[in-house]
Structure 1
C-alpha cells in the first residue's frame, strides 16, 4: 500500500483504512487514513507501506529534525513489538491492552517519553499522574538512555494507609541540648524506644536526632533545655537549619509518616532521607526522600534511587512537600 507525504503529514487512501480496522494504525479520515510519523516509519520498516520518493532511512532523517523523534519512535516500536496497539496522545502515547484496539477496547496506559537526562518536574508530574488516574489509566514513563535502551517506570500517587500495629502512646520527657541533637535520660524499653525514636547511648540515656527531636517538640512530648533555659521549637529549628537546608521539608514528610503510625529512621546509608518501617517488620519497607513540590531532579538521579530501592527490596517514594500537604510519589520499574 502506498502513502503520500507532503512534508508535514502522511496520508493514505481508502485502502489504508484496513490498517486501522485490523491493527489500530492511524486516525480515519473521510477519504482515507492519517498516520503519525512514528506509525508511518514503523510500517515502512515492516514493509507494510511505501512512501514514494522516500526510503526508511531518508524519512527517518526527515523526521529526526524534531529533537525528540528518535526516542519517541524507539518507544513506539518497542511497544508495538510487545504486542500493544499504540496511538498518540494525550501525553505521548496511549496504549491498549493486548488484543484490544480503538473501537474494540480501551487504552490502559498513558506513556510519557523521556531521555535519561531529562528533568523530572514534580509539580507537572503530579498533575499528569492525577489526570491519568482520573481517566482510569496507568501513568508510565518510558526512559531512553544514551545507548537507546528503554526502561519503563510506573508512577503512582500513594495515599498512606495507617500501619496495622499502632505505636505506643508517649509520655512527656525533658531533654538536654547536645550540639544539634538532644540527650534524654530514659531506661531501656521506654516509650520513646518502643516507638522507634532515638539511639541508645547507654542504659540510662538516649540521643535524639534533629528531625525526630523537632517532631517530638512540636507534639509536646519533649521539653528541650539548655542549662536552665528552655529552647522553643522555632529556636531549635533555626539552630538546626544552619547546617541542614532541607530540614523543613524533611520534618514535614517525617510528621506525615508518623501521623500514619509509620516509623521513619534515617535513610543515609541508602542515600535518602528516611527508611520507613510500616509495621513490626525487622527490615524497613520504604525509602522516602523529601522534595519541594516545585523541585526538579534529573531522571538519572531518580533511576539510581529506584535501582537502590529495588536492590534492597524496598519501594521508592518521594514526598513532595506543598502548602496543601504531602503528596507521596512512587516510582517503580516495570516490564510491560
Structure 2
C-alpha cells in the first residue's frame, strides 16, 4: 500500500496500482518492479529479498517477467481479468481503454483448447485482443495473438463434378479417369498413371457423403458409414480430419495433405500455386503442450502461411489462429 502524494502521483502519471480511498494498493509485481526501478522503498526488503520471497509462489516469477517486459515496452499494465490488462501506449486507467488481455504461460504448460476458446470469446466481447505471453526455460518471452477465425469463401467457385465409381485399394480408392479430369480440376486425388487417380481417405469420405463417388470393395458398394468404420480402425484422427476437411470444402478451399509440414492439411485458395494455410484438426477438449504449438507456429511462419487449429465440437468447427506478434 502506498500512502500520501507519492502514491497518487505514481497512479495518476503512470497507472501503477489501484486507488483505495486516499491510498494506492500495488500488486506484488508492481511493487517489485518499482522497487527495482528505485521508485519506492519497501521497509525490511531489498529487490532481491522481496523477489525471492514471492518467487516461492507458483508461477510468480514468469508473471513478474512478463509484467516487467510490458512496462519496459512502454505499456501501462494492470492485473486481471486474465493475468494482465495492457493499455494502449500513452493511455492509462481513467483516461484510456486497455488494448490487450494477456495470459501468461510457460513453454511446458498445456493449452486446453476449450478454455482457450472461452477466454478468446470473452476478450472479443470486451473488444480486446487476446495474447498469450509464453516464458521459456531461459526466461525469454514470446507473444502470440490468438484469434477465432471465421472462414470466408475462397477466391473461386467450386467446380462441378460428375458422379463416378472407384475401387477400394487399402484405405484409399482408385478411380479411372483421364488426365485433366473434373476431379483433378477440383483439387482431388493424386495421379497413379495416365488412367488412374488415387483418392485419399478424407477425400473419399467427403465425396461419398456428397454422393459424388461410389466405392466398391470386393464388387460390393460400400456406404460412407461402412467405409468410415473400416478406415478409422487404422486412423484414430479420421473423424476430426474428415469434419475439418468438409468444413474447408464448404468454403471452396482445397485441402491437401500437410504431412511434410507436420500437420493434417495444407490449404489452397483457388488456383494459387502455394498454399495459404496450415490446418490441424483436433477435438474441442484437446490439450496440447505450448511447446508443440510453438513449433507449429514457427513452421507456418517460416513458409509464410497462417497456422490454424480446427477444433471439432457438436456445434461445428471453430478455427483458432496462433500468430507470433511483437508488441
State if a TM-score over 0.5 links the two structures.
yes
* TM-superposition CA deviations, 1:96-122 (whole Å, max 9, x none): 000010111100000000000000000
1:31 Cα deviation from its structure 2 partner: 2.7
Residue 14, structure 1, aligned to residue 22, structure 2: no
* TM-superposition CA deviations, 1:256-311 (whole Å, max 9, x none): 00000000000000000000002221000000000000000000000000000011
Residue 198, structure 1, aligned to residue 189, structure 2: yes
Corresponding residue number in structure 1 for 2:140: 149
Matched residue SS, 2:100: strand
Q: Which of 156, 160, 178 pairs up with 1:165?
A: 156
Matched residue SS, 1:76: helix
Q: Aligned partners of 2:180 and 2:270: how far apart in 1? A: 18
Q: Aligned partners of 1:226 and 1:52: how far apart in 2? A: 81
Q: Aligned partners of 1:45 and 1:227: how far apart in 2? A: 76
Residue 66, structure 1, aligned to residue 57, structure 2: yes
Q: Which of 195, 206, 212 pairs up with 1:215?
A: 206
How many residue pairs match? The answer is: 326
Q: Aligned partners of 2:307 and 2:199: how far apart in 1? A: 25
Matched residue SS, 1:12: coil
Greater shift, 218-227 or 140-149, is seen at 218-227
Matched residue SS, 1:94: strand
Q: After TM superposition, what 4+ stretches of structure 1 lie above 6 angstroms from structure 2? A: none
Q: Aligned partners of 2:71 and 2:11: how far apart in 1? A: 14
Instruction: Give the 5 Å matches for 1:96-245.
Output: 96-245=87-236
Corresponding residue number in structure 2 for 1:267: 258
Corresponding residue number in structure 2 for 1:8: none
Matched residue SS, 2:148: strand
TM-score (norm 2): 0.99
Q: Aligned partners of 1:65 and 1:47: how far apart in 2? A: 23
1:188 Cα deviation from its structure 2 partner: 1.1
Q: Aligned partners of 1:227 and 1:189: how far apart in 2? A: 28
Q: What runs of 5+ residues in structure 2 fail to find an aligned partner?
A: none
Corresponding residue number in structure 2 for 1:304: 295
Q: Aligned partners of 1:279 and 1:14: how far apart in 2? A: 65
Q: Aligned partners of 2:219 and 2:244: how far apart in 1? A: 32
Q: Aligned partners of 1:164 and 1:210: how far apart in 2? A: 26
RMSD over aligned CA atoms reads 0.6
1:65 Cα deviation from its structure 2 partner: 1.7
Residue 281, structure 1, aligned to residue 288, structure 2: no
1:49 Cα deviation from its structure 2 partner: 0.2
Q: Aligned partners of 2:150 and 2:281: how far apart in 1? A: 15
1:320 Cα deviation from its structure 2 partner: 0.3
1:26 Cα deviation from its structure 2 partner: 0.2
Q: Aligned partners of 1:102 and 1:171: how far apart in 2? A: 62
Matched residue SS, 2:192: strand
1:228 Cα deviation from its structure 2 partner: 2.5
Q: Aligned partners of 2:272 and 2:38: how far apart in 1? A: 56
* TM-superposition CA deviations, 1:2-50 (whole Å, max 9, x none): xxxxxxxxx0102211100000000011131000000000000000000
Q: Aligned partners of 2:4 and 2:286: how far apart in 1? A: 49
Greater shift, 182-191 or 154-163, is seen at 182-191
Q: Which of 13, 20, 29 pairs up with 1:38?
A: 29
Residue 93, structure 1, aligned to residue 84, structure 2: yes
Matched residue SS, 1:242: helix
